[in-house]
Structure 1
């Protein structure tokens, strides 16, 4: 290329590839220094011409709007004319902007009468008029109008043009661009269209098919890996038309295929490059920054707070990580859904952040104090500075060294946030909420791709790959639904106008022609080209595209791919399994009281490994806060309310003496005391008003059943005691013990669920050993054990007794089919032997994987990845 030659491309990637090709050409010719050719994307060229014009004439206007500025102007215009709110305003603005660009590029007559015949088109016409007026009044210039502005200056000979312009990789030029280049030719510019750098003849082109998309992408990755091993210098193109949507999955598959036998994943510099970026806001370090800035609101969800507690991207995250992890666990355990920051920063309140995580708390205090000093209304530029200072106070981006990806993202963050400040040129000052909303929107729209070293394997979208030269090219997704796609005309321009002007995506014929051009470019791009498609997507059958149907079809075996197994397959096929019998843990220390209470025996009966993992290893999943109360919390409220009621009543006689008014008053008072005790600041919410009513109805219905019993005295409530079972000592808590005349006792356990079966008390591995355990406390005086089910519409007892005690639902032992004896004391002895056996097994460390019922026991168990019962079953099968 001569010094007065400019080469224009439709996108950045193609321009970068041409620079690389030229650089390699100069090196191959032995040159050590050379003039860098003028190669750049066409939109960058337009902007360069504009800047050169301003500099040449020392002008400060017009102001060339950024894409974000344009978007916010369109948004303001649309909102000012609509009388209802939009659920997807950003999507609508995007489509309106696209319509405006199309109307300028294709010379649409905005005064055409067809606009008035369709509501959406008429609305766009009025918005476009307002947009043009705002730009004229404020001396603004939008990017869609920039070529028209340049044409006027070219005609006036106020812009210097190159002698030669080469257009490379364009499938077509819009009428607006054609007119601009025609004016250039009139002024002596020589224009040349270059469709491809490749002059390959007799290249090999074929097609193949796959059962699904994942198999297709996996095979493409294997193909690329095979070629790269065989020809290290070969350029390999992998085209995925849906790359913007499937980027993460494609990245995952390629990473798995390119991982080696010993490790999962790939090095920091992978042998492939994926072109599709993602929104800056989707990178964890930026997502954390936005969440931190939103702490200004003082009220945040527990989910967000938990994320920040565990994030490495804020001050002292490493030094204070254990305290923050414990505090996160505490928040989850207490089922706190909403975090009120200012009360939490008080040492006297519970939970107290300042007491548990002092460094994090101090940073939040500094952040909130700093914001309190700011005016409520400021310009966007000022808020941009405030956000940077705020993040610094909060210790963002963290104390540890950033890796390459994080460093690049943070650098791009600082560049992108400058766009927020530039909104001052077009918008009025706002409050912090609106400023954060604007920042969020800018970061959502800013697409960023991590810069990696040049790689021989390129994963690209369709438009990026067109006209790029490769040695090998594989184009995926060539099915009949996508090639050609259905027409998608812009809804804000009348369809008849779009059809008449042959505008992009306007008609099926237009889509067909465009796809034919792309495929023709692909066919000239490499010496070996493979097109492929999946036969199924979302349960819908797919056929090969008619545009490639005439190509010879090949089977995958003909490609002779290396057995590039993914990491999991390497492990599976190696079959190098080390067998180690390790199902007995060290015994408990002497005289240690096992934590977990009754649950120790219950889990040991269900599965010894489950008991060991959950109780001795503390291997339990973290709880997630839920709206309102958890089931166990509602149970706690009921237990405490009944405890307070029976502290007042004490016995059956006192219950009978209360009239309805006094009984309802007692129930209300005890419920209020309970909720005040348990619910703390949340008890004023409407939720707890409803909870009070629910508890009242439930307790009142239960006490009506209690009235119909024979006389009794409540001798013990919510009593914590230690129970020794041969070697093992556990702490248990008994809900209630009723005493009859003669000192005989009935042990009661409150239940707030329906599915309680006394059959689970019996057998060698009782699934619910709670009441059998309680019966061992005082076996001589205990004559019965029973659940007390308090459920709406179904309150009642479920139990077993030595003999009939005249309580509905408590059956004498000889009537219980699950019991193998009809003698009460024999059953007590059987329970003792069974429970001693289970407790001794736990004490001695018996921890083999042995679920009582593999389906029921394992169904909701979170330990399957640890015990690997499924893998063990496969190997044994």
Structure 2
């Protein structure tokens, strides 16, 4: 166990410790509590430790309670950071003119000016001796405006109040009791204001006592890793092993750029230390680690729901379906038990409405009876939308003071269903309180901003929530701390790992304020002023880290984002004294490939675990049917899990709304037009006899009939007249171009069937098929045709073990084509395997597209080839279908029949493994998220890395990277 030597309880109560950060204040108080507990004490005096800003504010508060005001500035009201920022933004905008919001980022300018004034007040940055730049001149004007406004209205910045307090300490010598001793903790350098504070405290007789921080020189190890991901995994594995060996040890993982690495670190630590937290019921359980840096308040789901609702109140709001979808599925809008109802409405909205839809249009659509999904009443959420519309049309009009908007918002959110019927967790309660605190901060802007429109106020609220860092309160004292380099200073640990120490990250690059003279900033030695200042600062931080633990591991990634990295200067210095030098570390032993492995490895209750192989689903029960037709067999051939999720569990991805028609809708419309066209033409002789005007007339009639048929479907969204005309022109061009290709076919044909429906029994698997078209040649042989509106068709799998394009082989070998006698006649009768009365001579894809219309597929003889298809006995055909395996056409049909039978047997047995030989083949998979390809890839790589036997493979191979 690590103890903090500076938390000596024997120190007098009048001992004050000033800390460099609020986090160090908490850490020292916790260390004092641990020390008292180890000594067996039941009561002990609290350690008086605060940041200088906290202590000076307490002094001002005590003076105010006594009615004392030893300095004129202390009579002013303190500006909050939000007020100060808003005031800077307002005054800068007034200086730059009415076009400023369109030409400049006023919020960024305000932040930079706010920082510049703070540097001048705390670091004594003077005006440059040379002629000022245009930016410096502008800042001088802005500062004059700012100070004039503060003087007139009686406000002061925190830095101004702190400076006035320090200047008044000597005058208030006899007004209160001062601490007897003062110590500093965690400071790397003192700014002039802090130095003045120490001088005044010395004048008051306060003794400056050194903070006891000496520890033996640490044992240093250095390592490098291929990339940041491998480095983070190694650090997580290190923490896992150290805590398993000694659960009471205190560890720290430190990163110079914690903001960039925060999320990858959280993911790795959760996998390593608490993988069971993946379960939704345990998502907010206490973690064995604590991260110093929180996330933006806007990233909290509860706050996100509030902002979504408030945005809908803007008069100029133009919401998209994505906005409405986010609201409909949001867990913090309306009672949770209504979520399934809202999900059904969202799915229907995505299918029937355009991407851009207003609140009024959504309400009008939802009130139509035919739009109501089965068992999904809209009463659950329509009242909330009506309330949104009422507020938008009335209450949110005009301008109000920020305090008036802030006072109304909580009630408006309640009326619109925010958090309705929900029980908040501890994290949710804290997030709600942080959101209300943001409303309270905006309410204090009245004197700074004046009346604002709803849009202006909401923009300020969103910016404030984005800049507010939210971090739920940590329960207990986690043994692992994840810190930035500054936060780690002054703390004590048993072991520390500092990662990310490449030259670009440490020392941090210089970042002088552009509104102040660079030379003046360098003379004042203020932070970020120069590379030399940053290097000196880094040296001080490094020295403190060297005294923070007896074991120190320093690491760096050799590449980042594909670019090579160099080690930092600190790491090079440490490597000179470390036994490991800078030799590259082997990739860390991988984390457990799943959380069950972790439980078993760490000695958990393995006897209570039940292992199940998810590659096998329940077999089909007798009489159980599976819908999907040829799409079911295609999905099974490409990835059995895809077929199981989509066709047996009926999982579906949500539709992506588009303007007009998407690719699928256009393909369906093309099928309708082709069906109507061949209903009129019937055979090749009729087509060839038509002159160009007559052919165009037939095409126009077929297109008009197809569009009318679509318009009569109540489930199809209507097209605007302009889009309807564009689709009409597109279809006419497409069909005329395709008929020119059909007219050049060498063999005469008649269309035997169009959109023919069949019910077949594929070895016990009942399927319903719909064949786009069947042509009969003059010799009585048949060609099975399937329309494709895209150009991508791959028939190579027809000669392989798994038919990934099975529809045409299925029609050709199992469809009851002999029952077709007249155009369109297709009795839905089951047809078992047996002799074929009408032999199929070819399986063809008709690629009907404007760019490259063509035929594709396979035919038995050259005489049957319409042009573009593969002939079995040609050189190209025999390259794909070797004669040794496929002596003739009958063997091809037999191959298709047997492969389809095997695929059907897999479905009946419940084969549901994730087998993906080619990831691009899944581009149309509607359940892609359920396949968890990224997770399986990581597990596969971890299993390969940990396999003791070369070539060891898992029982079910996931997608390869």
In structure 1, what is the equivalent of residue 390 of structure 2? 369
Structure 1 residue 257 corresponds to structure 2 residue 272: yes
Single out whichever of 163-172 and 56-65 deviates more from structure 2: 56-65
Single out whichever of 725-734 and 855-864 deviates more from structure 2: 855-864
Deviations 1:649-684 (A, max 9, x none): 777469547458857865775676577568966734
Deviations 1:742-788 (A, max 9, x none): 99876542211223356665677544333344453333567765332
In structure 2, what is the equivalent of residue 418 of structure 1? 440
Going from structure 1 to structure 2, the CA distance change for 1:406 and 1:814 (only over 3 Å counts) comes to same
Partner secondary structure for residue 210 of structure 1: strand
Distance 2:26 2:614 in 1: 59
8 Å CA contact 1:335, 1:630 repeated in 2: no
Alpha-carbon offset, residue 311 of structure 1: 3.1
Partner secondary structure for residue 454 of structure 1: coil
Going from structure 1 to structure 2, the CA distance change for 1:807 and 1:290 (only over 3 Å counts) comes to same
Distance 1:841 1:508 in 2: 70
Distance 1:463 1:7 in 2: 18
Partner secondary structure for residue 320 of structure 1: helix
Going from structure 1 to structure 2, the CA distance change for 1:291 and 1:687 (only over 3 Å counts) comes to farther
In structure 2, what is the equivalent of residue 560 of structure 1? none
Partner secondary structure for residue 549 of structure 1: helix
8 Å CA contact 1:718, 1:736 repeated in 2: yes
8 Å CA contact 2:305, 2:327 repeated in 1: yes
Distance 1:434 1:6 in 2: 45
Alpha-carbon offset, residue 36 of structure 1: 4.3
Q: TM-score, normalised on structure 2?
A: 0.76
Any residues of structure 2 matched to 1:311-326 within 5 Å, and which? 311-317=330-336, 319-326=337-344
Any residues of structure 2 matched to 1:168-567 within 5 Å, and which? 168-169=184-185, 170-179=187-196, 182=199, 188-193=203-208, 196-200=211-215, 202-211=216-225, 212-214=227-229, 216-217=231-232, 220=235, 235-259=250-274, 268-296=285-313, 299-317=318-336, 319-331=337-349, 337-345=355-363, 346-348=366-368, 351-352=371-372, 355-377=376-398, 378-397=400-419, 399-452=421-474, 453-470=476-493, 472-526=495-549, 528-538=550-560, 539-546=563-570, 549=573, 552-555=577-580, 566-567=591-592
Distance 1:828 1:672 in 2: 40
Alpha-carbon offset, residue 596 of structure 1: 0.7
Going from structure 1 to structure 2, the CA distance change for 1:320 and 1:226 (only over 3 Å counts) comes to same
Deviations 1:38-70 (A, max 9, x none): 432222233334444555449996331111111
Going from structure 1 to structure 2, the CA distance change for 1:262 and 1:415 (only over 3 Å counts) comes to closer
Single out whichever of 169-178 and 714-723 deviates more from structure 2: 714-723
Distance 1:582 1:797 in 2: 38
Distance 1:805 1:257 in 2: 63
Partner secondary structure for residue 137 of structure 1: helix
Single out whichever of 382-391 and 781-790 deviates more from structure 2: 781-790
Distance 1:410 1:38 in 2: 31
Going from structure 1 to structure 2, the CA distance change for 1:329 and 1:45 (only over 3 Å counts) comes to same
Any residues of structure 2 matched to 1:26-175 within 5 Å, and which? 36=46, 38-57=48-67, 62-80=76-94, 81=96, 83=99, 85=102, 89-110=106-127, 112=128, 114=130, 116=132, 118-150=133-165, 160=175, 162-164=177-179, 166-169=182-185, 170-175=187-192
In structure 2, what is the equivalent of residue 791 of structure 1? 849
Partner secondary structure for residue 792 of structure 2: coil
Distance 1:828 1:29 in 2: 87
Going from structure 1 to structure 2, the CA distance change for 1:687 and 1:216 (only over 3 Å counts) comes to same
8 Å CA contact 2:288, 2:480 repeated in 1: yes
Going from structure 1 to structure 2, the CA distance change for 1:109 and 1:790 (only over 3 Å counts) comes to same
Alpha-carbon offset, residue 246 of structure 1: 1.7
Going from structure 1 to structure 2, the CA distance change for 1:322 and 1:486 (only over 3 Å counts) comes to closer
1:734 is matched with which residue: 746, 771, 778?
771
RMSD between aligned alpha carbons?
4.7
8 Å CA contact 2:511, 2:530 repeated in 1: yes
Single out whichever of 57-66 and 726-735 deviates more from structure 2: 57-66
Partner secondary structure for residue 313 of structure 1: coil
Distance 1:521 1:294 in 2: 47
Distance 2:526 2:277 in 1: 53
Going from structure 1 to structure 2, the CA distance change for 1:623 and 1:606 (only over 3 Å counts) comes to same
8 Å CA contact 1:489, 1:507 repeated in 2: yes
2:26 is matched with which residue: 9, 13, 16?
16
Distance 1:728 1:456 in 2: 58
Alpha-carbon offset, residue 168 of structure 1: 1.3
Partner secondary structure for residue 459 of structure 1: strand
Structure 1 residue 699 corresponds to structure 2 residue 735: yes
8 Å CA contact 1:313, 1:399 repeated in 2: no
Alpha-carbon offset, residue 451 of structure 1: 1.2
Going from structure 1 to structure 2, the CA distance change for 1:370 and 1:253 (only over 3 Å counts) comes to same
Distance 1:247 1:162 in 2: 44
8 Å CA contact 1:197, 1:469 repeated in 2: no
Partner secondary structure for residue 190 of structure 1: coil
Partner secondary structure for residue 683 of structure 1: coil
Distance 2:527 2:761 in 1: 82
Deviations 1:346-404 (A, max 9, x none): 33177558955531333333333344341413332232233322332344335453333
8 Å CA contact 1:198, 1:469 repeated in 2: no
8 Å CA contact 1:115, 1:493 repeated in 2: no
In structure 1, what is the equivalent of residue 631 of structure 2? 599
Alpha-carbon offset, residue 599 of structure 1: 1.9
Single out whichever of 739-748 and 445-454 deviates more from structure 2: 739-748
Partner secondary structure for residue 749 of structure 1: strand
Deviations 1:710-747 (A, max 9, x none): 98776754454434556444222233456788998765
8 Å CA contact 1:643, 1:718 repeated in 2: yes
Distance 1:151 1:846 in 2: 78
Deviations 1:164-199 (A, max 9, x none): 4725123333223434554565xx523555553334
Going from structure 1 to structure 2, the CA distance change for 1:875 and 1:851 (only over 3 Å counts) comes to closer
Going from structure 1 to structure 2, the CA distance change for 1:547 and 1:713 (only over 3 Å counts) comes to closer
8 Å CA contact 2:669, 2:707 repeated in 1: no
8 Å CA contact 1:343, 1:349 repeated in 2: no
Single out whichever of 65-74 and 28-37 deviates more from structure 2: 28-37
8 Å CA contact 2:498, 2:554 repeated in 1: yes
Partner secondary structure for residue 312 of structure 2: helix
Distance 1:581 1:684 in 2: 48
Single out whichever of 89-98 and 866-875 deviates more from structure 2: 866-875
8 Å CA contact 1:479, 1:543 repeated in 2: yes
Aligned length: 863
Going from structure 1 to structure 2, the CA distance change for 1:143 and 1:680 (only over 3 Å counts) comes to farther
Partner secondary structure for residue 290 of structure 1: helix
8 Å CA contact 1:487, 1:507 repeated in 2: yes
In structure 2, what is the equivalent of residue 559 of structure 1? none
Q: TM-score, normalised on structure 1?
A: 0.83
Going from structure 1 to structure 2, the CA distance change for 1:30 and 1:777 (only over 3 Å counts) comes to closer
